[in-house]
Amino acid sequence: MFIFNIGIFSIFAILATIVYCVQKTQTKNIMSPDYDLTQYQNPLFTVDSVLFTILQDSLKVLLVKRANAPFKGRWGLPGGFVDVELDDNTDMSALRKIKEKTSVAPQYLEQLQAFSGINRDPRGFSVTLVYYALISPQQVATQIDSVDDVRWVDLSEIPDLAVAFDHKHIIEKAKARLQQKALYSMIPVYCLPDQFTIGQLKTAIEAIIAKPIQRKSLVRRIEASNMFEALDEKVKSGGRLAQLYKLKPDVDIVHFERNLSLG
Amino acid sequence: MFIFNIGIFSIFAILATIVYCVQKTQTKNIMSPDYDLTQYQNPLFTVDSVLFTILQDSLKVLLVKRANAPFKGRWGLPGGFVDVELDDNTDMSALRKIKEKTSVAPQYLEQLQAFSGINRDPRGFSVTLVYYALISPQQVATQIDSVDDVRWVDLSEIPDLAVAFDHKHIIEKAKARLQQKALYSMIPVYCLPDQFTIGQLKTAIEAIIAKPIQRKSLVRRIEASNMFEALDEKVKSGGRLAQLYKLKPDVDIVHFERNLSLG
DNA sequence: CCTTATTTGTGTCTTAGGGACATTATTAAG
DNA sequence: CTTAATAATGTCCCTAAGACACAAATAAGG
For residue B237, give the nucleotide whose C1' atom is nearest its CA. Answer: C7
B248 backbone φψ class: left, alpha, beta (φ>0; ψ -120 to 50): beta
Residue type for A176, please?
A
- CB contact under 8 Å between B113 and A111, yes or no, is yes
The pLDDT tens digits for A134-168 are 999 988 876 666 788 999 999 999 999 999 999 99
Q: B207, exposed or middle or buried, with CB in 10 Å at 0-12, 13-18, 19+?
A: buried
pLDDT at residue number A41: 67
Nearest CA to B118 among A92, A96, A37, A41?
Answer: A92
The pLDDT tens digits for B101-146 are 999 999 999 999 999 999 999 999 999 999 999 999 988 876 666 7
Alpha helices in B161-231 (DSSP H): 167-184, 198-209, 215-225
Residues touching nucleic chain C (CB < 7 Å) = A 213-217, 220-221, 224, 234, 236, 239-241, 256-258, 260-261, 263; B 197-199, 215-216, 219, 234, 237-243
Is the pLDDT confidence value at B3 over 80? no
A263 — pLDDT class (breaks 50, 70, 90): confident
Mutate to test the interface with B, among A2, A4, A9 (most CBs of B within 10 A): A9
For residue A245, give the nucleotide whose C1' atom is nearest its CA. Answer: D7
pLDDT at residue number A69: 84
Is the pLDDT confidence value at A231 over 70? yes
CA geometry: angle B37, B42, B43, nearest 5 deg: 165
